[in-house]
Amino acid sequence: MNIGNDGNLDFDITENCLFDDSSKLKFTDIKSYVNLLKNSYFDTKEEKYLKVIKILSGDQRKNVIKLSESLSKFIYKMDQEINRVKSMYEFDRKFSKCIFIAGTDEVGRGPLAGPIVAASVILNLNYKSDKDLILGIKDSKKLSASVREKLSKVIKSKALDFNIALINNTKIDERGISWCNNEVLRKAADGLKIQPDLVLSDGYAVKNLNIDNEFIIKGDAKSASIACASIIAKVYRDNLMREYSKEYPNYRFENNSGYGTKEHIEAIRKYGVCKIHRRYFLKNII
């Protein structure tokens, strides 16, 4: 086994052995090498992948051949994902007259409790290489919680600017959800440190916004900027509701994020309402 001084697989030695005669290597060494190769996708030339796949597919061991197939599928899926995300960046870039484009989206329109939250994101659409793309972005509702958390961190680190705004349940009861929905989107866009030339919004226009605005039907599936805004807004609100669940444990906000699940409605009927419930939304429940 080719172990370096730090206890990790020695990539270069293993690679040399592999290219010389793969049968000399243990399966576990080859598997570790392939995993490292996948993790360095953007720094590895296509020729090397093709060479490794050819070598592994010619090995006599079935489990090594399966590694070859796994690596082939990985490359295919990565190429597909890069092309998908590129198309989302290109969608935003078609507004070529604009220097800075912000995507904005909201989450929390329908819950029985908690605030409505919106985010605005400005991406670097003139990326230099595929490595600069934020892979995996899409409608936040189609992502698992763990993937959203990871993507939110990546988005915040790679975005040129982002801003998150919220409007609490009291204001929702006072002004109505439609007004608050528009207002939270406006606040998210207006609060950016970088003044965008254009704001892309999901589904409908943002009223009273002193910035040019284009609304995109199903924008979180088409626009990279809107998808990123959708993700960081969702993560922010879910984390906030988890914090509220510590203060109001009876309603299990950590599981339902304030939405009207059967468990949540039963808790309202049993314990009454708490400070973050939207009373207007509860007319048919209490």
The single-letter code of the amino acid at 71 is: L
Segments of 110-230 assigned E as strands:
116-122, 161-167, 198-202, 213-216
Segments of 179-247 assigned E as strands:
198-202, 213-216
What would the two tokens of residue 213 be? 């605005």
Q: Classify 258 as helix, strand or coil.
A: coil
Binding residue per annotation — 12?
no
What are the Cα distances from residue 92, in Å, to 97, 200, 261? Answer: 11, 8, 36
Binding residue per annotation — 106?
yes
The single-letter code of the amino acid at 3 is: I
Binding residue per annotation — 149?
no
Q: Answer whether 232's CB lies under 8 Å from 165's CB.
A: no
Residues 6+ apart with CB under 8 A from 174: none
Q: At what angle do helices 62-93 and 224-247 cross, to 10 degrees?
A: 100
What are the Cα distances from residue 7, in Å, to 22, 86, 99, 123, 221? Answer: 22, 38, 48, 39, 43
Which residue bears the tokens 């910035």? 211
Beta strands across the sheet bearing 116-122: 161-167, 116-122, 101-107, 198-202, 213-216
Answer positive or negative: Cα dihedral of 237, 243, 247, 251. positive
Alpha helices (H) along 40-124: 46-57, 62-93
Numbered residues of the known binding site:
105-106, 202
Q: Where is the binding site for a divalent metal cation, in residues?
A: 105-106, 202
